[in-house]
Protein backbone atom coordinates (compact mmCIF):
# COMPACT_ATOMS: atom_id res chain seq x y z
CA UNK A 1 0.00 0.00 0.00
CA UNK A 2 1.19 3.48 -0.95
CA UNK A 3 -0.14 6.44 1.03
CA UNK A 4 -0.39 10.05 -0.15
CA UNK A 5 -1.08 12.40 2.78
CA UNK A 6 -2.14 16.05 2.42
CA UNK A 7 -2.20 18.53 5.28
CA UNK A 8 -0.79 21.59 7.07
CA UNK A 9 1.52 19.79 9.55
CA UNK A 10 4.84 21.57 9.01
CA UNK A 11 6.47 19.41 11.70
CA UNK A 12 6.75 16.82 8.94
CA UNK A 13 9.45 19.05 7.47
CA UNK A 14 11.43 19.03 10.74
CA UNK A 15 13.50 15.94 11.61
CA UNK A 16 13.22 15.13 15.31
CA UNK A 17 9.68 16.46 15.73
CA UNK A 18 6.96 14.24 17.18
CA UNK A 19 5.08 14.11 13.87
CA UNK A 20 8.26 13.30 11.96
CA UNK A 21 9.13 10.45 14.31
CA UNK A 22 5.59 9.07 14.14
CA UNK A 23 5.71 9.00 10.34
CA UNK A 24 9.00 7.12 10.46
CA UNK A 25 7.06 4.42 12.32
CA UNK A 26 4.15 4.57 9.88
CA UNK A 27 6.51 4.09 6.94
CA UNK A 28 7.74 0.80 8.37
CA UNK A 29 4.32 -0.68 7.58
CA UNK A 30 3.80 0.80 4.13
CA UNK A 31 5.28 0.37 0.69
CA UNK A 32 5.66 4.13 0.38
CA UNK A 33 4.53 7.23 2.31
CA UNK A 34 4.35 10.69 0.73
CA UNK A 35 3.23 13.73 2.74
CA UNK A 36 2.39 16.93 0.86
CA UNK A 37 2.52 19.86 3.30
CA UNK A 38 0.77 23.20 2.84
CA UNK A 39 3.61 25.69 3.30
CA UNK A 40 4.58 29.17 2.13
CA UNK A 41 7.75 30.23 0.34
CA UNK A 42 9.95 30.43 3.47
CA UNK A 43 9.79 26.63 3.71
CA UNK A 44 11.15 26.18 0.20
CA UNK A 45 10.22 23.35 -2.13
CA UNK A 46 12.97 20.83 -1.32
CA UNK A 47 11.73 17.33 -0.62
CA UNK A 48 12.57 16.07 2.89
CA UNK A 49 13.38 12.41 3.45
CA UNK A 50 11.53 10.96 6.43
CA UNK A 51 12.69 7.38 5.89
CA UNK A 52 14.01 5.28 3.03
CA UNK A 53 10.49 4.93 1.67
CA UNK A 54 8.90 8.13 3.00
CA UNK A 55 9.17 11.81 2.09
CA UNK A 56 7.51 15.15 2.85
CA UNK A 57 7.02 17.85 0.24
CA UNK A 58 6.53 21.53 1.17
CA UNK A 59 4.38 23.32 -1.41
CA UNK A 60 6.47 26.51 -1.10
CA UNK A 61 3.46 28.53 -2.24
CA UNK A 62 3.48 32.28 -2.91
CA UNK A 63 -0.20 32.79 -2.05
CA UNK A 64 -3.06 31.18 -0.14
CA UNK A 65 -4.71 30.17 -3.40
CA UNK A 66 -1.39 28.74 -4.53
CA UNK A 67 -1.40 26.31 -1.60
CA UNK A 68 -4.27 24.42 -3.22
CA UNK A 69 -2.82 24.47 -6.74
CA UNK A 70 0.67 23.50 -5.64
CA UNK A 71 -0.53 20.72 -3.32
CA UNK A 72 -2.62 19.19 -6.09
CA UNK A 73 0.20 19.52 -8.64
CA UNK A 74 2.77 17.84 -6.39
CA UNK A 75 0.39 15.10 -5.26
CA UNK A 76 -0.79 14.34 -8.81
CA UNK A 77 2.80 14.01 -9.96
CA UNK A 78 3.62 11.58 -7.15
CA UNK A 79 0.57 9.43 -7.84
CA UNK A 80 1.51 8.86 -11.47
CA UNK A 81 3.63 5.97 -10.17
CA UNK A 82 1.72 2.66 -10.29
CA UNK A 83 0.52 0.96 -7.13
CA UNK A 84 -2.35 0.61 -4.66
CA UNK A 85 -2.79 4.17 -3.40
CA UNK A 86 -4.73 5.58 -0.48
CA UNK A 87 -5.18 9.35 -0.19
CA UNK A 88 -5.33 10.67 3.38
CA UNK A 89 -6.49 14.20 4.24
CA UNK A 90 -5.42 15.55 7.64
CA UNK A 91 -8.61 17.61 7.96
CA UNK A 92 -12.03 17.78 6.27
CA UNK A 93 -11.53 21.33 4.98
CA UNK A 94 -8.60 22.65 2.92
CA UNK A 95 -6.72 19.33 2.98
CA UNK A 96 -9.94 17.45 2.37
CA UNK A 97 -10.82 19.58 -0.66
CA UNK A 98 -7.51 18.93 -2.40
CA UNK A 99 -7.64 15.25 -1.47
CA UNK A 100 -11.22 14.91 -2.74
CA UNK A 101 -10.36 16.42 -6.15
CA UNK A 102 -7.29 14.20 -6.31
CA UNK A 103 -9.37 11.13 -5.44
CA UNK A 104 -11.86 11.93 -8.20
CA UNK A 105 -9.03 12.42 -10.69
CA UNK A 106 -7.14 9.21 -9.81
CA UNK A 107 -9.88 6.87 -8.63
CA UNK A 108 -7.96 6.22 -5.40
CA UNK A 109 -9.81 5.79 -2.07
CA UNK A 110 -10.09 8.80 0.20
CA UNK A 111 -9.54 8.76 3.97
CA UNK A 112 -10.49 11.97 5.77
CA UNK A 113 -9.30 12.54 9.33
CA UNK A 114 -11.52 14.52 11.70
CA UNK A 115 -9.57 15.37 14.86
CA UNK A 116 -11.18 18.65 15.89
CA UNK A 117 -14.83 17.84 16.69
CA UNK A 118 -15.98 20.60 14.35
CA UNK A 119 -19.48 19.28 13.65
CA UNK A 120 -21.03 18.30 16.97
CA UNK A 121 -21.58 21.78 18.44
CA UNK A 122 -22.15 25.26 16.94
CA UNK A 123 -19.31 26.95 18.85
CA UNK A 124 -16.56 26.54 16.25
CA UNK A 125 -18.58 27.61 13.24
CA UNK A 126 -19.92 30.66 15.06
CA UNK A 127 -16.41 32.02 15.62
CA UNK A 128 -16.18 33.47 12.09
CA UNK A 129 -17.80 33.63 8.66
CA UNK A 130 -14.78 31.73 7.35
CA UNK A 131 -15.55 28.84 9.70
CA UNK A 132 -19.15 28.80 8.53
CA UNK A 133 -17.94 28.34 4.95
CA UNK A 134 -15.49 25.64 6.04
CA UNK A 135 -18.27 23.91 7.98
CA UNK A 136 -20.37 23.56 4.83
CA UNK A 137 -17.41 22.35 2.80
CA UNK A 138 -16.49 19.86 5.51
CA UNK A 139 -19.98 18.38 5.68
CA UNK A 140 -19.98 17.97 1.91
CA UNK A 141 -16.57 16.31 1.82
CA UNK A 142 -16.84 14.04 4.83
CA UNK A 143 -19.98 12.40 3.45
CA UNK A 144 -18.09 11.57 0.26
CA UNK A 145 -15.00 10.06 1.86
CA UNK A 146 -14.41 6.34 1.43
CA UNK A 147 -13.61 6.18 5.14
CA UNK A 148 -13.28 8.61 8.04
CA UNK A 149 -10.85 8.44 10.94
CA UNK A 150 -11.93 10.15 14.18
CA UNK A 151 -10.23 10.39 17.57
CA UNK A 152 -13.21 9.86 19.89
CA UNK A 153 -16.58 8.16 20.17
CA UNK A 154 -18.08 11.64 20.53
CA UNK A 155 -17.06 12.58 16.98
CA UNK A 156 -18.14 9.17 15.69
CA UNK A 157 -21.65 9.70 17.09
CA UNK A 158 -21.84 13.10 15.41
CA UNK A 159 -20.87 11.71 12.02
CA UNK A 160 -23.36 8.86 12.32
CA UNK A 161 -26.02 11.50 13.00
CA UNK A 162 -24.92 13.21 9.78
CA UNK A 163 -25.71 10.03 7.90
CA UNK A 164 -22.31 8.34 7.65
CA UNK A 165 -22.58 4.55 8.25
CA UNK A 166 -20.64 3.36 11.32
CA UNK A 167 -18.75 0.86 9.14
CA UNK A 168 -17.14 3.80 7.33
CA UNK A 169 -15.80 5.34 10.55
CA UNK A 170 -12.79 4.24 12.60
CA UNK A 171 -12.10 5.53 16.10
CA UNK A 172 -8.34 5.75 16.67
CA UNK A 173 -7.36 8.13 19.48
CA UNK A 174 -4.21 10.21 19.16
CA UNK A 175 -1.31 8.62 21.02
CA UNK A 176 0.09 10.82 23.78
CA UNK A 177 3.59 10.24 25.12
CA UNK A 178 3.15 10.96 28.83
CA UNK A 179 6.53 9.76 30.11
CA UNK A 180 7.90 13.29 30.61
CA UNK A 181 4.81 14.33 32.58
CA UNK A 182 4.96 11.33 34.87
CA UNK A 183 8.66 11.83 35.62
CA UNK A 184 8.96 15.65 35.77
CA UNK A 185 10.03 17.50 38.90
CA UNK A 186 7.59 20.26 39.99
CA UNK A 187 8.47 23.78 38.87
CA UNK A 188 9.15 25.72 42.05
CA UNK A 189 8.27 29.11 40.58
CA UNK A 190 4.77 27.87 39.86
CA UNK A 191 4.46 26.39 43.34
CA UNK A 192 5.23 29.73 45.00
CA UNK A 193 2.97 31.98 42.90
CA UNK A 194 0.18 32.01 45.47
CA UNK A 195 0.18 32.62 49.19
CA UNK A 196 1.24 29.84 51.54
CA UNK A 197 -1.52 27.24 51.67
CA UNK A 198 -3.09 28.24 48.35
CA UNK A 199 -4.31 25.48 46.06
CA UNK A 200 -2.77 26.16 42.63
CA UNK A 201 -5.18 25.86 39.70
CA UNK A 202 -3.49 25.82 36.30
CA UNK A 203 -4.43 26.09 32.66
CA UNK A 204 -2.10 26.21 29.65
CA UNK A 205 -3.76 27.33 26.44
CA UNK A 206 -4.00 29.75 23.56
CA UNK A 207 -6.07 32.75 24.59
CA UNK A 208 -8.72 32.27 21.90
CA UNK A 209 -12.54 31.89 21.95
CA UNK A 210 -12.34 28.08 21.66
CA UNK A 211 -10.74 27.81 25.11
CA UNK A 212 -13.44 29.96 26.81
CA UNK A 213 -11.02 31.11 29.49
CA UNK A 214 -13.48 33.83 30.50
CA UNK A 215 -15.67 31.05 31.90
CA UNK A 216 -12.76 29.73 33.96
CA UNK A 217 -11.98 33.19 35.36
CA UNK A 218 -15.62 33.85 36.23
CA UNK A 219 -15.95 30.44 37.91
CA UNK A 220 -12.77 31.08 39.88
CA UNK A 221 -14.11 34.47 40.94
CA UNK A 222 -17.19 32.75 42.34
CA UNK A 223 -15.23 30.35 44.54
CA UNK A 224 -13.05 33.19 45.83
CA UNK A 225 -16.22 34.79 47.18
CA UNK A 226 -16.77 31.55 49.15
CA UNK A 227 -13.47 32.18 50.94
CA UNK A 228 -11.34 29.45 49.35
CA UNK A 229 -7.55 29.77 49.43
CA UNK A 230 -6.48 29.32 45.82
CA UNK A 231 -4.42 30.84 43.01
CA UNK A 232 -5.32 30.62 39.32
CA UNK A 233 -2.40 30.53 36.87
CA UNK A 234 -3.02 31.04 33.15
CA UNK A 235 -0.08 30.22 30.86
CA UNK A 236 -0.19 31.17 27.21
CA UNK A 237 -0.90 34.03 24.87
CA UNK A 238 -3.37 35.04 22.21
CA UNK A 239 -5.78 37.70 20.96
CA UNK A 240 -8.05 37.54 24.01
CA UNK A 241 -5.31 38.30 26.53
CA UNK A 242 -6.24 41.93 27.16
CA UNK A 243 -9.90 41.06 27.68
CA UNK A 244 -9.01 38.21 30.03
CA UNK A 245 -6.65 40.40 32.05
CA UNK A 246 -9.40 43.03 32.50
CA UNK A 247 -11.84 40.35 33.63
CA UNK A 248 -9.25 38.90 36.03
CA UNK A 249 -8.72 42.36 37.53
CA UNK A 250 -12.48 42.71 38.10
CA UNK A 251 -13.16 39.34 39.76
CA UNK A 252 -9.79 37.85 40.71
CA UNK A 253 -9.01 39.65 43.97
CA UNK A 254 -5.34 39.62 43.03
CA UNK A 255 -5.37 35.80 42.90
CA UNK A 256 -5.02 35.36 39.14
CA UNK A 257 -1.59 35.28 37.48
CA UNK A 258 -0.79 35.40 33.75
CA UNK A 259 2.48 33.92 32.52
CA UNK A 260 4.06 33.56 29.09
CA UNK A 261 4.29 30.16 27.46
CA UNK A 262 6.84 27.80 28.97
CA UNK A 263 9.41 25.48 27.43
CA UNK A 264 8.95 23.11 30.39
CA UNK A 265 5.20 22.33 30.40
CA UNK A 266 5.68 19.01 32.19
CA UNK A 267 7.37 20.61 35.21
CA UNK A 268 4.82 23.43 35.37
CA UNK A 269 1.92 20.99 35.17
CA UNK A 270 3.48 18.78 37.85
CA UNK A 271 3.56 21.80 40.18
CA UNK A 272 -0.19 22.38 40.01
CA UNK A 273 -2.80 21.00 42.40
CA UNK A 274 -5.63 21.13 39.84
CA UNK A 275 -5.74 21.45 36.06
CA UNK A 276 -8.71 23.24 34.48
CA UNK A 277 -9.89 22.96 30.88
CA UNK A 278 -12.88 25.18 30.04
CA UNK A 279 -13.04 24.76 26.25
CA UNK A 280 -16.15 25.03 24.10
CA UNK A 281 -14.83 22.17 21.95
CA UNK A 282 -11.76 19.95 21.63
CA UNK A 283 -10.96 17.12 19.29
CA UNK A 284 -9.18 15.09 21.93
CA UNK A 285 -7.65 17.29 24.62
CA UNK A 286 -4.14 15.88 24.93
CA UNK A 287 -3.38 18.04 27.95
CA UNK A 288 -6.06 16.17 29.89
CA UNK A 289 -4.15 12.91 29.40
CA UNK A 290 -0.92 14.65 30.36
CA UNK A 291 -2.58 16.01 33.50
CA UNK A 292 -3.68 12.54 34.61
CA UNK A 293 -0.18 11.20 33.93
CA UNK A 294 1.32 13.97 36.06
CA UNK A 295 -1.01 13.06 38.91
CA UNK A 296 -2.86 16.37 38.73
CA UNK A 297 -6.63 16.23 39.39
CA UNK A 298 -8.63 17.56 36.47
CA UNK A 299 -11.80 19.57 35.93
CA UNK A 300 -12.95 19.90 32.32
CA UNK A 301 -15.94 20.70 30.20
CA UNK A 302 -17.67 17.84 28.41
CA UNK A 303 -15.46 17.90 25.31
CA UNK A 304 -12.80 15.77 23.66
CA UNK A 305 -11.76 12.75 25.70
CA UNK A 306 -14.34 13.37 28.43
CA UNK A 307 -16.40 10.22 28.82
CA UNK A 308 -14.12 7.98 26.79
CA UNK A 309 -11.02 8.55 28.98
CA UNK A 310 -11.94 10.99 31.73
CA UNK A 311 -14.99 9.81 33.66
CA UNK A 312 -16.48 12.35 36.02
CA UNK A 313 -16.01 11.51 39.69
CA UNK A 314 -13.40 8.88 38.88
CA UNK A 315 -10.63 10.62 36.94
CA UNK A 316 -11.75 14.20 37.42
CA UNK A 317 -14.87 16.33 37.26
CA UNK A 318 -16.67 16.86 33.94
CA UNK A 319 -19.22 19.67 33.61
CA UNK A 320 -21.43 20.91 30.74
CA UNK A 321 -19.91 23.28 28.21
CA UNK A 322 -20.50 26.95 28.98
CA UNK A 323 -21.95 26.41 32.48
CA UNK A 324 -20.19 28.83 34.85
CA UNK A 325 -22.16 27.72 37.90
CA UNK A 326 -21.38 24.02 37.40
CA UNK A 327 -17.73 24.76 36.69
CA UNK A 328 -17.49 26.84 39.86
CA UNK A 329 -19.15 24.07 41.87
CA UNK A 330 -16.65 21.53 40.50
CA UNK A 331 -13.73 23.78 41.35
CA UNK A 332 -15.12 24.26 44.86
CA UNK A 333 -15.22 20.49 45.41
CA UNK A 334 -11.69 19.92 44.14
CA UNK A 335 -10.17 22.82 46.04
CA UNK A 336 -11.84 21.97 49.35
CA UNK A 337 -11.52 18.17 49.34
CA UNK A 338 -7.87 17.05 49.47
CA UNK A 339 -8.88 13.40 49.95
CA UNK A 340 -10.97 13.48 46.78
CA UNK A 341 -8.03 14.98 44.89
CA UNK A 342 -5.82 12.19 46.17
CA UNK A 343 -8.27 9.52 44.98
CA UNK A 344 -8.54 11.13 41.55
CA UNK A 345 -4.75 11.34 41.35
CA UNK A 346 -4.33 7.58 41.74
CA UNK A 347 -7.25 6.74 39.45
CA UNK A 348 -5.90 9.05 36.76
CA UNK A 349 -2.47 7.48 36.74
CA UNK A 350 -3.98 4.03 36.44
CA UNK A 351 -6.22 5.18 33.58
CA UNK A 352 -3.29 6.55 31.61
CA UNK A 353 -1.33 3.33 32.13
CA UNK A 354 -4.19 1.42 30.50
CA UNK A 355 -4.30 3.56 27.33
CA UNK A 356 -3.02 2.11 24.02
CA UNK A 357 0.73 2.03 23.50
CA UNK A 358 2.45 3.71 20.57
CA UNK A 359 2.67 0.33 18.82
CA UNK A 360 -1.06 -0.26 19.26
CA UNK A 361 -1.86 3.25 18.04
CA UNK A 362 0.25 2.84 14.90
CA UNK A 363 -1.34 -0.55 14.20
CA UNK A 364 -4.81 1.02 14.54
CA UNK A 365 -3.97 3.76 12.04
CA UNK A 366 -2.58 1.26 9.53
CA UNK A 367 -5.73 -0.84 9.97
CA UNK A 368 -7.81 2.25 9.19
CA UNK A 369 -5.88 2.76 5.94
CA UNK A 370 -6.25 -0.87 4.89
CA UNK A 371 -9.95 -0.76 5.73
CA UNK A 372 -10.33 2.31 3.54
CA UNK A 373 -8.58 0.52 0.69
CA UNK A 374 -10.65 -2.65 1.05
CA UNK A 375 -13.95 -0.75 1.24
CA UNK A 376 -13.02 1.11 -1.95
CA UNK A 377 -12.19 -2.17 -3.66
CA UNK A 378 -15.56 -3.65 -2.71
CA UNK A 379 -17.40 -0.61 -4.06
CA UNK A 380 -15.41 -0.73 -7.31
CA UNK A 381 -16.36 -4.36 -7.82
User: What CATH number does the domain located at 179-353 have?
Assistant: 3.40.50.2000
CA distance 48 to 51: 9
CA distance 253 to 225: 9
Question: Cβ-count burial of 157 within 10 angstroms (0-12 exposed, 13-18 middle, 19+ buried)?
Answer: middle
Could you tell me the pLDDT band of residue 379, with boundaries at 50, 70 and 90?
Answer: low
Q: Find the DSSP H helices in 50-205.
A: 64-78, 94-106, 129-143, 153-161, 179-183, 188-191
Q: Which tens digits make up the pLDDT trace of 345-358? A: 999 999 999 999 99
Average pLDDT over residues 368-379: 88
Q: Where are the domains of the chain?
A: 2-175+357-380, 179-353
Structural element, H or E, at residue 232: strand 230-235
Per the model's pLDDT, the better-predicted residue between 103 and 380 turns out to be 103
Q: In the predicted model, is pLDDT for residue 370 greater than 60? A: yes
- pLDDT at 191 (0 to 100): 85
The domain made up of 2-175+357-380 has a fold known as Rossmann fold (3.40.50)
The full length of the chain comes to 381
3-state class of 143 per DSSP? helix
Q: In the predicted model, is pLDDT for residue 381 greater than 60? A: no
- Mean pLDDT score across all residues of the chain: 95
Could you tell me the pLDDT band of residue 152, with boundaries at 50, 70 and 90?
Answer: very high
Q: Which tens digits make up the pLDDT trace of 21-68? A: 999 999 999 999 999 999 999 999 999 999 999 999 999 999 999 999
Percent of the chain with pLDDT over 90: 94
- The answer to whether domain 2-175+357-380 and domain 179-353 are alike in fold is yes
- pLDDT at 194 (0 to 100): 80
Q: Which tens digits make up the pLDDT trace of 220-230? A: 999 999 999 99
pTM for the structure as a whole:
0.92
- pLDDT at 192 (0 to 100): 86
Structural element, H or E, at residue 87: strand 85-89
For the chain, the first-to-last Cα distance in angstroms comes to 19
Average pLDDT over residues 67-96: 97
Q: In the predicted model, is pLDDT for residue 380 greater than 70? A: no
By the 8 A CB rule, do 168 and 145 touch? yes
Amino acid sequence: MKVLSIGPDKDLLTPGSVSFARHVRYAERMEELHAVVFARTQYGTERVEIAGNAWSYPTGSKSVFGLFIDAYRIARSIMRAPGEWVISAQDPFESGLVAYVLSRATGAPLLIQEHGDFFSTPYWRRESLFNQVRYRIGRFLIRRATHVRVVSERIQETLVALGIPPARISVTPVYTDTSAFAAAAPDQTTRTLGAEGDVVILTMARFVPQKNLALLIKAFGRILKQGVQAQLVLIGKGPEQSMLERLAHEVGQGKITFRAWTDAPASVLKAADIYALSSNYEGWGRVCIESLAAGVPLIMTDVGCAGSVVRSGEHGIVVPVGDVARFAAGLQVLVSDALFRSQIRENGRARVAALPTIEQSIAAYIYTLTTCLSQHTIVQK
